């Protein structure tokens, strides 16, 4: 496929309510979309980096810069190229996995649209629907938390994830268990908010029968996670630490986790995400698909990924209305706690032009 042009589209989508984690409070999604145009088709990618480098070292302005200065020029000067060649082509540039993922995603979408094949088929999906989970941010009070959780359960979500941090953890979980019972699939996500000396405190979460505790310690601290995993009854899941299939293999070998959260942007793309899935499956480690407040573009690709066989736990794949009153694609809806995997060519969805025009804050064409 010969690339004739690449467009960077920056958009702002207001969230339906503030989303608070241990590292930030988001009220607006400042997102970067990448459009790749070839002679036969066009494809879309979504960069999941946040506006500030608080979840990872990447941030939107930095992703735009590295795409303009390095990645797009390398891509268009390479001549005809397939999606599987994008990662090797960009491998000489260190890091910037989220930016790489967005570009590879767009190339893969264009390639599959041209060939009439779906993302799900390309990745190896074995299901046509996937169960939906929801991530609940840190609240100002327990009553506010219980009202939110109750609403999501009533809507049909199959799993609840609570964001936690020191001061908002044990008692918040206790309140949810007391209100909704032990049968609700419940897990917690710390986003690196704790340290090794907090192990005794984190052990207090064992009484609640959680599915897992996600990324309690800093991403570099695999030894600390191994120590923690040996002392907790609650399974330890890694998120920020898993930046590649090789990192997943190391974490599993070190017994630093027994479950893995797969985020395609964090590992450099959906093709690498599939390799993470395969490594974990080979070791008997279940995985689930994490979320980064994606628009309908990223949500469509995540659904295709989450339909692979080793995604045995519900992921953070929520209905569009969970975050956005107006998405840039046709909204994704949930039925009986599940969402259908797009079947059309490529991602199976594309931005609605009128919505994109309203929400775009910057558009820039990068041509050969």
Query: Looking at the annotation, which residues are catalytic?
Result: 163, 263
Phi (first) and psi of residue 105, to 5 degrees: -60, -45
Reference 169, options 214, 211, 202; nearest CA is 202
Owner of token pair 């908002």? 168
What separation, in Å, do the N-terminal and C-terminal C-alpha atoms of the chain show? 14
The label of the residue with tokens 């190391």 reads 250
* Crossing angle of helices 245-253 and 222-231, rounded to 10°: 40
Cross-strand pairs, 136:
162
Between CA 41 and CA 113 the distance in angstroms is: 7
Q: Give the separation between CA 254 and CA 347, rounded to whole angstroms.
A: 36
CB atoms within 10 A of CB 366: 17
User: For residues 266 and 58, what is the distance between their CA atoms, to the nearest angstrom?
Assistant: 10
């Amino acid at each position: 496929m010969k690339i004739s042009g690449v467009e960077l589209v920056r958009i702002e989508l207001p969230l339906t309510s503030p989303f608070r984690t241990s590292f930030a409070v988001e009220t607006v999604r400042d997102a970067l979309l990448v459009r790749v145009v070839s002679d036969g088709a066009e494809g879309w990618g979504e960069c999941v980096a946040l506006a500030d480098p608080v979840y990872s070292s990447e941030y939107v302005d930095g992703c735009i810069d590295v795409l303009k200065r390095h990645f797009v020029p390398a891509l268009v000067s390479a001549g005809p190229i397939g999606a599987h060649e994008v990662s090797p082509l960009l491998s000489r540039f260190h890091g910037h996995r989220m930016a790489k993922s967005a570009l590879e995603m767009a190339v893969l979408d264009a390639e599959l649209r041209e060939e009439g094949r779906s993302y799900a088929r390309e990745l190896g999906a074995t299901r046509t629907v996937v169960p939906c989970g929801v991530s609940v941010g840190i609240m100002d009070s327990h009553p506010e938390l219980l009202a939110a959780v109750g609403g999501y359960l009533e809507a049909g979500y199959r799993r609840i994830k609570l964001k936690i941090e020191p001061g908002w953890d044990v008692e918040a979980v206790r309140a949810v268990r007391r209100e909704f019972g032990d049968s609700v699939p419940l897990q917690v996500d710390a986003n690196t908010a704790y340290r090794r000396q907090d192990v005794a405190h984190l052990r207090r979460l064992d009484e609640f029968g959680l599915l897992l505790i996600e990324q309690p310690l800093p991403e570099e601290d695999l030894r600390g996670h191994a120590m923690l995993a040996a002392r907790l009854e609650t399974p330890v899941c890694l998120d920020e630490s898993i930046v590649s299939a090789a990192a997943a293999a190391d974490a599993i070998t070190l017994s630093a986790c027994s479950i893995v959260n797969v985020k395609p942007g964090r590992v450099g793309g959906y093709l690498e995400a599939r390799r993470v899935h395969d490594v974990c499956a080979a070791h008997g480690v279940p995985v689930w698909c994490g979320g980064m407040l994606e628009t309908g573009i990223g949500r469509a690709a995540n659904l295709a990924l989450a339909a692979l066989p080793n995604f045995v736990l519900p992921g953070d794949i929520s209905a569009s209305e969970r975050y956005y009153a107006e998405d840039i694609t046709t909204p994704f809806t949930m039925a009986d706690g599940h969402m259908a995997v797009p079947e059309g060519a490529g991602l199976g969805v594309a931005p609605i032009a009128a919505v994109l025009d309203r929400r775009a804050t910057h558009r820039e064409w990068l041509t050969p």
